[in-house]
A and B are shown apart, each in its own frame.
Chain A
Amino acid sequence: MTRNRPTNWTGRDDVMIETAIRRGASRRDLLKMLMASGVALSAGSGLLLRAEKAVAATPVSGGHLKAAGWSASTADTLDPAKASLSTDYVRCTAFYNRLTFLDENGEVQMELADTIETSDAKTWQITLKPDIAFHSGKTLSSADVVYSLKRHLDKSVGSKVNSIAKQMAEIEAVDDLTVKIVLAEPNADLPTILALHHFLIIADGTTDFSTANGTGAFICETFEPGIRSIATKNPNYFKAEGPYLDSFEFFAISDNNARVNALLSGDIQLTGSIKARSLRMLEGQSHVSTSINTAGNYTNLNIRLDLDPGAKAGFVEGMKYLVNREAIQKSVLRGLAEIGNDQPVSAANRYHNSDLKPREFDPERAKSLFEKAGVMGQSIPIVASEAATASIDMAVLVQQAGSEIGMSFDVQRVPSDGYWSNYWLKAPVHFGNINPRPTPDILFSLLYASDAPWNESQFKSETFDKMMVEARGLLDEEKRRAIYWEMQEMVSNEAGTVIPAYISDVDAFSTKLKGLRTNPLGGLMGYSFAEYVWLES
Chain B
Amino acid sequence: MLRSATTWLLIGQRLGTALITLVIVSFAVFFATELLPGDVAEILLGQAATPEAVTGLREAMGLNEPAILRFLGWLGGLATGDLGTSYVNKVEVADLLAGRLANSLRLAGIVTAICVPLSLSLGIAAAMWRNTLFDRVISVMTISVISVPEFMVATLAVLIFAVWLDWLPALSYGVDVDSLGAMLRAYAMPVITLSFVVSAQMIRMTRAAVIETINTPYVEMALLKGASRARMVLIHALPNALGPIANAVALSLSYLVGGVIIVETVFNYPGVAKLMVDAVSTRDLPLIQSCAMIFCVSYLSLITLADMIAILSNPRLRH
Contacts and interface: CB of A to CB of B under 8 A. Distances in A.
A418 B173 CA distance: 31
Contact of B275 (A84, A226, A262): A226
A162 B53 contact: yes
B281 A251 contact: no
Interface stretch (A117-125, A153-161, A308-316, A525-533): A153-161
* Main secondary structure on A side of the interface with B: loop
B170 interface: yes
Contacts of B278: 73-75, 226
Given A155-B60, A160-B45, A163-B50, A258 B37 contact: no
B41 interface: yes
Main secondary structure of the interface of B (DSSP, over half): helix
B313 interface: no
A162 B48 contact: yes
B171 A417 contact: no
B65 interface: no
Contacts, number: 131
Interface string A327-362: 000000000000000000000000000000000000
B267 A258 contact: yes
B265 A258 contact: yes
A258 B56 contact: no
Contacts of A254: 265
A249 B174 contact: yes
B268 A417 contact: no
Contacts of B99: 224, 227
Given A253-B171, A417-B37, A453-B50, A261 B162 contact: yes
B284 interface: yes
A47 to B, nearest CB: 27
Nearest to A210: B91
Contacts of B159: 261
A225 B91 contact: yes
A226 B171 contact: no
Contacts of A161: 48
Interface residues of B, number: 50
Interface string B276-289: 00110110100100
Contact of A418 (B36, B91, B266, B274): B36
Contacts of B266: 255, 257-258
B212 interface: no
A299 to B, nearest CB: 14
A286 to B, nearest CB: 14
Given A74-B96, A158-B45, A265-B170, A226 B37 contact: no
B169 A267 contact: yes
A227 B100 CA distance: 10
Given A261-B158, A267-B169, A420-B46, A74 B284 contact: yes
Given A163-B50, A265-B166, A454-B47, A158 B56 contact: yes
A225 B37 CA distance: 24
A228 interface: yes
Interface string A64-77: 00101000011111
Interface in B20-77: 36-38, 41-42, 44-50, 52-53, 55-57, 59-60
Given A66-B174, A74-B89, A265-B166, 14 more contacts: A75-B278, A75-B282, A76-B89, A156-B60, A157-B60, A161-B48, A162-B48, A162-B50, A163-B48, A257-B158, A258-B267, A265-B170, A420-B46, A420-B47
Interface of A: 66, 68, 73-77, 82, 84, 155-158, 160-163, 210, 224-228, 249, 251-255, 257-258, 261-262, 264-268, 417-418, 420-422, 453-454
